[in-house]
């Protein structure tokens, strides 16, 4: 969740202290990035043609579904896309680990919490608005330009499915029960072209996410409420009011709750980025190195913005996610720092009135606020907008009773609502 508004783009922080990691973690990250960069350009140029097929026969969507659920395509033989993006949990993680374990022996930790893939296909590509506001893009830092590129990294990342080379993935795919279907759709000789095969895999995964209705059902209680099919309970009505009120939750500033153009159902994200100063999470092994910093738009995974432009004001900002299915999440924020919706909501409204509840205190009793950012970048954190505009000693924008109502409303955003008889 991110309740702040668009970032102020005309103020720049001091120079960024560059992150350094322990050699093992640095090697893992750089290996994954190097593979991604080396493969992306030639693969996206490779000619992949889906041949004419029987409408009832295999097609890119049905193949994408099989690939998504197939653990045999990983180095461990035990990790599929659906392992981390469980359809039964709104295509997000089913456990409360801050980061997942991958690789050949399922012992290599990741660096960020798993985002949901639900409604992801409706995300626009990354761009800067006329006022310089970053918008859209895939992954938490927007570095992937489309679903194909987004699907590429997990196949080869050392902390995910862990294929060392395209040849490894092709060999595993050629041994699957659906290999002949793959040949039928993408050409009988497709496995002779490693880059073309990998592109076909990402194409199938992208088509599956675009066209399978499970990825965008729009069947929550709130959708029925908008359609006039039911009435909200009193707590839910109070909650939606608090959600929208600019002087209370102000959630709608970044998570619009009204219908979009052409009467489109709300996505509950404006696809922008925000820096909330989320506390450092010691459950992520990489944080054992005090110099390790996840700067979101500024890296370490994303490098183009800091290499090409002078936008240090973006450091520490992450993409505003959709709040659809937020009540089903097991962890919250990019680093999985909070493990319940109520704790995440308390952070929003009490971060500035009671910072000692979330940040460590030094030997002199001083709260180390925004402790996952270098001090030089603390000015990037959203501290001006409701509900972040409070000071220690002031009352939070929302009381515990109001948080009860807000949570009741957020529960109406879960897919699969079944009205009582």
Tens digit of each residue's pLDDT (9 = 90 or more) over 332-377: 999 999 999 999 999 999 999 999 999 999 999 999 999 999 999 9
Contact 315, 9 (CB under 8 A): no
**Residue 121 in this model has a pLDDT that exceeds 80:** yes
pLDDT for the residue 201: 98
The domains of the chain are located at 23-215, 221-413
- Report phi then psi at 273, rounded to 5: -130, 150
Average pLDDT in the 207-222 region? 98
pLDDT for the residue 7: 42
Fold agreement between 23-215 and 221-413: yes
Average pLDDT in the 214-220 region? 98
pLDDT for the residue 419: 86
Mean pLDDT of the chain: 89
Bridge partners of 416, per DSSP, are none
**Residue 75 in this model has a pLDDT that exceeds 70:** yes
Query: pTM of the predicted model, to two decimals?
Result: 0.87
For 312-322, the pLDDT digits (tens) are: 899 999 999 99
Average pLDDT in the 178-186 region? 97
**Residue 168 in this model has a pLDDT that exceeds 90:** yes
Superfamily of domain 23-215: Cytochrome c-like domain (1.10.760.10)
Average pLDDT in the 167-180 region? 98
**Residue 244 in this model has a pLDDT that exceeds 90:** yes
Q: Which CATH architecture has domain 221-413?
A: Orthogonal Bundle (1.10)
**Residue 169 in this model has a pLDDT that exceeds 70:** yes
Q: Write the CA distances from 125 to 41, 116, 142, 146, 314, integer angstroms.
A: 17, 17, 8, 6, 18
pLDDT for the residue 275: 98
What is d(CA 294, CA 350) in angstroms, rounded to the nearest whole number? 23
pLDDT for the residue 38: 44
What is d(CA 406, CA 265) in angstroms, rounded to the nearest whole number? 20
Q: Write the CA distances from 10 to 7, 345, 359, 370, 386, integer angstroms.
A: 9, 29, 29, 22, 20
pLDDT for the residue 146: 95
**Residue 286 in this model has a pLDDT that exceeds 50:** yes
Average pLDDT in the 91-102 region? 98
Q: What angle do CA 210, 328, 91 make, to 5 degrees?
A: 25
């Amino acid at each position: 969740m991110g309740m702040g508004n668009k970032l102020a783009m005309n103020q720049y922080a001091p120079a960024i202290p560059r992150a350094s990691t322990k050699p093992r973690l640095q090697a893992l990250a750089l290996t994954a990035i190097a593979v991604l960069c080396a493969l992306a350009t030639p693969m996206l140029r490779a000619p992949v043609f889906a041949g004419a097929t029987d409408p009832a026969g295999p097609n890119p969507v049905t193949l994408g579904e099989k690939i998504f659920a197939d653990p045999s395509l990983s180095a461990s033989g035990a990790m599929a896309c659906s392992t981390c993006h469980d359809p039964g949990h709104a295509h997000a993680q089913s456990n409360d680990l801050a980061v997942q374990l991958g690789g050949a022996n399922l012992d290599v930790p990741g660096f960020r919490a798993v985002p949901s893939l639900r409604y992801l296909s409706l995300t626009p590509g990354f761009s800067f608005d006329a006022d310089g506001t970053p918008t859209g893009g895939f992954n938490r830092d927007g570095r992937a330009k489309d679903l194909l590129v987004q699907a590429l990294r997990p196949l080869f990342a050392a902390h995910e499915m862990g294929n060392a080379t395209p040849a490894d993935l092709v060999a595993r795919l050629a041994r699957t029960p659906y290999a002949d279907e793959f040949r039928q759709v993408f050409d009988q000789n497709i496995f002779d072209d490693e880059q073309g095969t990998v592109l076909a895999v990402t194409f199938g995964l992208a088509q599956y996410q675009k066209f399978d209705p499970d990825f965008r059902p729009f069947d929550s209680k709130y959708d029925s409420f908008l359609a006039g099919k039911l009435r909200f309970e009193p707590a839910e009505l109070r909650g939606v009011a608090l959600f929208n009120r600019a002087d209370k939750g102000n959630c709608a500033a970044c998570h619009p709750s009204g219908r979009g153009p052409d009467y489109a159902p709300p996505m509950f994200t404006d696809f922008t980025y925000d820096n909330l100063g989320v506390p450092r999470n010691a459950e992520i092994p990489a944080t054992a190195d005090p110099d390790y910093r996840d700067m979101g738009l500024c890296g370490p995974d994303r490098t183009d913005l800091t290499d090409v432009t002078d936008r240090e004001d973006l450091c520490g900002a992450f993409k505003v996610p959709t709040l659809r299915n937020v009540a089903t999440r097991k962890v919250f924020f990019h680093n999985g720092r909070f493990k319940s919706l109520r704790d995440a909501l308390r952070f929003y409204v009490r971060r500035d009135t009671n910072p000692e509840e979330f940040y460590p205190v030094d030997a002199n009793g001083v709260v180390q606020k925004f402790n996952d950012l270098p001090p030089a970048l603390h000015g990037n954190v959203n501290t001006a907008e409701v509900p972040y505009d409070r000071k220690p000693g002031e009352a939070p924008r929302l009381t515990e009773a109001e948080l009860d109502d807000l949570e009741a409303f957020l529960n109406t955003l879960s897919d699969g609502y079944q009205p009582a008889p």
